[in-house]
Amino acid sequence: MTEIFTIALIFSTIRTATPLLLAALGGLYSERAGVINIALEGLMLAGAFTAAAVTHYAGSPWAGLLAGIGAGVLVAAIHAVACIRFNADQVVSGTAINILMTGVPAMLSGALFLSSGSTPQIPRDDLIPWTPVVLALLLVGVTWYVLYRTPFGLRLRAVGENPEAADAAGVNVNGVRYSAVLLSGALAAIGGAYLSIGQSSLFTRNMTSGRGFIALAALIFGKWRPVQTMLACLLFGFTEAISIQMQGVFKPWGEEIPVQFISIVPYVLTIVVLAGFIGLSRAPRALGIPYQKEK
Amino acid sequence: MLELRDITKRFGNVLANDGVSIKVRPGTIHAIVGENGAGKSTAMRIAYGFYTADGGDILVDGEVRRISTPHDAIALGVGMVHQHFMLVEPMTVAENIVLGAETGGVASLDLGKAADEIRALSDEFKLSVDPRATVESLSVGQQQRVELLKALYRRARLLILDEPTAVLTPPEVEEFFAILRRMREQGKTVVIITHKLSEVLAISDDVTVMRDGRVVGRVETSRTNAAELARLMVGRDVLLRVEKTDAAGDGAAVLGVKDLTVTARDGKRRLDGVSFEVRAGEIVGIAGVEGNGQTELIETLAGLTATGHTASGEVEFEGRAITRLNSRARRELGVAHIPEDRHRRGLLLDFDLAENSILGDHYRKPAVSGFGNVFLNDRGIRARALQVINDFDVRPPDPDLPARSLSGGNQQKLIIGREFEINPKLLLVSQPTRGVDIGAIEFIHRKLVALRDAGCAVLLVSAELEEVTALADRLLIMREGSVVGEVDPKRATVEEIGLLMTGGK
């Protein structure tokens, strides 16, 4: 077993946790403000594709990252307008965005690169393998500070708990919600960009493979708090990292366990965590409820 | 200080405010009275920017101002404490007070400094509130003081208080009035919305009376009295007592309860060997401090024993044991139930009045029709709803409105009307007038007496001692799950009943 638990495993854990953490922190802003963000998956895809495509054309991962953030914000804006302006069902809107984002990148890459599967390879020098990792860890502290030590954070929490009370206190409820949802788009998009121009070197179709949902699970497991959410992301990252390392190494019965079985571990853990802990963790009270005056 | 001029506000088909003009003099306590649904809260919510008026002007300090959000109102020195507190419960007192009025830059939230200011304000008005406590750990009275502090922290010069005493116990009300008087001494102006006339007379300088969305009277408090205000509010003379003849008292026993005991899961007896009878044509009242088994008694008799509770003993209806019947079977026999908590047991708040008017009868005519009665009959339902609405004067009389949009009094009238529709032989009624305004109280009392006169047996539970003694022909007193005495409500004194209720000798 010792060959599995190494320093490399720790780094691998952090690297696999990074996209989860970025998306989960994005989700945290949105959900603490009372808007369910099941669209994290789609927002990550938007960021991943745009970052890879722009990096390919511009030759700069920074331009790619910025463009990815822009794409995430743009897609999040659809969710925000649907949910806040038009009081749409937040789960339905988020699901629609996820479905949309499985198709749009494929269509665009078909038009731009004559391949609906993936974007062209990006040279090794144009990747940013570590910046998003550091950024994600820094953002945990920043998010904590914003949430508990700034007026914006106070308003954000109040709007997610009791928007009527916030309104009565003179807070612009919908304004706070818009900023929160757009912010979540930006963060989830960085998470997506990290997948395409950090961990790998191109965008492949549906490359997030459910990470947006795992991030959401981590957010719930972490009780919508930044530090606990980070720990939850690290746990999920750890299982994924270890499942990669175990492949071909872990032979409990002298036989190799099929790869497929090992790689389902993170998903099984997600289900177990959600089933076991969702009741214990108290969501922001106004989560999922549009704020309507004069009803 | 504040003036509303010709304010008009419409919600759908309902004209909630119709040319309302109110003038509040600075440094006074101004009461706005009226029945539920008279438009008092609407007018004040407009003044606070929670609603936007369809027409009319708001003047602050003599100047016409545009107040379209609470933020605008706060900037002009207007604060409001809502009937349902506007507090974020998991957050601390300081966080709640500072929210929306944070000082300092975007990157800093100095709660320590805010806490000091809050403490100073709290001392100035003797509110004794700890800024670091979380709101959900506070009593209702303390939460109300947090609301006052919120307004004071925002430098409010005018405070609008919507039904502030509804949630307070009598000693808390006294304390609260003392706070209001201190505020007036410090030069603040207070507007208090209420429908309790004794409070108007005790605390206010001026009174504005509203009815049906209009202002129907403006008087100085020192020049008026309860009877005049009640007449203005309701639009006619109001009987502040119940008018009834003696019960015939020789009817057959409709309800017989023998040795009824309800045991909770923890083994505690919520009802302990209760036995009594209710005869046709009499009202039997049950008095007692709340939580002494009255809820369990009424619910068990209605066939609604709470989960985890077990009942033993016998319940007879017209001589036949109904102990094992469920609520629907009991209802089919003619047992009607007006529950103590109309939101929990009485109504589906998001359903419309028509649907609510057939609850419990939803499976039988006229609510259903067709082959095997499997289809809802819209026409039958509407006819039933309109009948209830007309007979019980439910306002606004629109069967398509959700029950939620009605005032408490009108919700209660809807429930009572629905239960009367089954022509009950036994009526179980709990807290019939809780949160109901005086015009409707009088109406409900008359209906209950009329039902008794028609030969129905009525079992009445009320926390208002005045109400049970006025309505009941016989009065049972409950304490700790047992009936500890029976008195003649016409002869017994309040002291006598009070002693039985509390067990003091």
- For the stretch B275-306, pLDDT in tens is 999 999 999 999 987 778 999 999 999 999 87
In angstroms, the separation between the Cα of residue B28 and the nearest Cα of chain A is 24
B367, B380 in Cβ contact below 8 A?
A: yes
pLDDT tens, position by position, B101-146: 888 777 788 888 899 999 999 998 888 889 999 998 888 788 999 9
Q: Which residues of A touch B96 (CB under 8 A)?
A: 165, 169
* Structure-token pair, residue B410: 């009108």
Q: What pLDDT is attached to residue A5?
A: 67
Would you state the CATH architecture of domain B2-234?
A: 3-Layer(aba) Sandwich (3.40)
In angstroms, the separation between the Cα of residue A162 and the nearest Cα of chain B is 6
B345, B428 in Cβ contact below 8 A?
A: no
Residue B41's nearest CA partner among B168, B167, B213, B166 is: B213
* Average pLDDT of span B229-240: 77
Would you state the CATH architecture of domain A7-277?
A: Orthogonal Bundle (1.10)
Contact A170/B87, CB-based, under 8 Å? no
Q: Which residue of A has its CA nearest to B75?
A: A170
Question: Across the interface, which of A150, A162, A169 has its CB nearest the CB of B100?
Answer: A169
Is any Cβ of chain A less than 8 angstroms from the Cβ of B68? Answer: no
A/B interface, count of CB pairs below 8 Å: 79
SS3 assignment, position B175: helix
Is any Cβ of chain A less than 8 angstroms from the Cβ of B368? Answer: no
B229, B35 in Cβ contact below 8 A?
A: no
In angstroms, the separation between the Cα of residue B301 and the nearest Cα of chain A is 35
Contact A166/B109, CB-based, under 8 Å? no
In angstroms, the separation between the Cα of residue B73 and the nearest Cα of chain A is 9
Is any Cβ of chain A less than 8 angstroms from the Cβ of B11? Answer: yes
Range picked from A177-186, B112-121, B148-157, B408-417 for highest mean pLDDT: A177-186
In angstroms, the separation between the Cα of residue B167 and the nearest Cα of chain A is 18
Contact A170/B71, CB-based, under 8 Å? yes
Q: Which residues of A touch B109 (CB under 8 A)?
A: 148-151, 153-154
- Band of the pLDDT at B504, cuts 50, 70, 90? low
Q: Where are chain B's structural domains?
A: 2-234, 242-334+423-505, 348-422
SS3 assignment, position B284: strand
Pairing type for strands B2-11 and B14-24 reads antiparallel
Contact A169/B69, CB-based, under 8 Å? no
Mutation pick from A174, A176, A224, A294 vs chain B, by most beta carbons of B within 10 Å, is A294
Q: What pLDDT is attached to residue A2?
A: 57
A94, A37 in Cβ contact below 8 A?
A: yes
Q: Which residues of A touch B89 (CB under 8 A)?
A: 161-162
Q: Could you tell me which residues of chain A have a Cβ less than 8 Å from any Cβ in chain B?
A: 148-155, 157-158, 161-162, 164-172, 293-294
pLDDT over 70 percentage in chain B: 97
On average, the pLDDT of chain B sits at 89
Q: Which residue of A has its CA nearest to B42?
A: A294
pLDDT tens, position by position, A81-140: 999 999 999 999 999 999 999 999 999 999 999 887 788 999 988 899 999 999 999 999
Q: What pLDDT is attached to residue B505?
A: 47
Q: What pLDDT is attached to residue B169?
A: 64
CA-CA-CA-CA torsion sign (B367, B368, B369, B372): negative
Q: Which residues of B touch A294 (CB under 8 A)?
A: 11, 51-52
Question: Across the interface, which of A152, A161, A172 has its CB nearest the CB of B88?
Answer: A161
Contact B86/A150, CB-based, under 8 Å? no
Same fold flag, B2-234 and B242-334+423-505: yes
Q: Which residues of B touch A153 (CB under 8 A)?
A: 109
Q: How far is it between the farthest Cα atoms of chain B?
A: 78
In angstroms, the separation between the Cα of residue A172 and the nearest Cα of chain B is 8
- Band of the pLDDT at B364, cuts 50, 70, 90? confident
Q: Which residue of B has its CA nearest to A155?
A: B99
Q: Where are chain A's structural domains?
A: 7-277
Q: What pLDDT is attached to residue B238?
A: 65
- In this predicted structure, the answer to whether residue A47 has a pLDDT above a threshold of 70 is yes
pLDDT tens, position by position, A128-186: 999 999 999 999 999 999 999 999 999 999 999 999 999 988 899 999 999 999 999 99
Tell me the fold of B242-334+423-505.
Rossmann fold (3.40.50)
Mutation pick from B17, B50, B95, B99 vs chain A, by most beta carbons of A within 10 Å, is B99
User: Is ipTM > 0.90 here?
Assistant: no
Contact B99/A158, CB-based, under 8 Å? yes
pLDDT tens, position by position, B183-226: 999 999 999 998 778 889 999 999 999 988 999 999 999 999 88
Q: What pLDDT is attached to residue B248?
A: 65
In angstroms, the separation between the Cα of residue B69 and the nearest Cα of chain A is 7
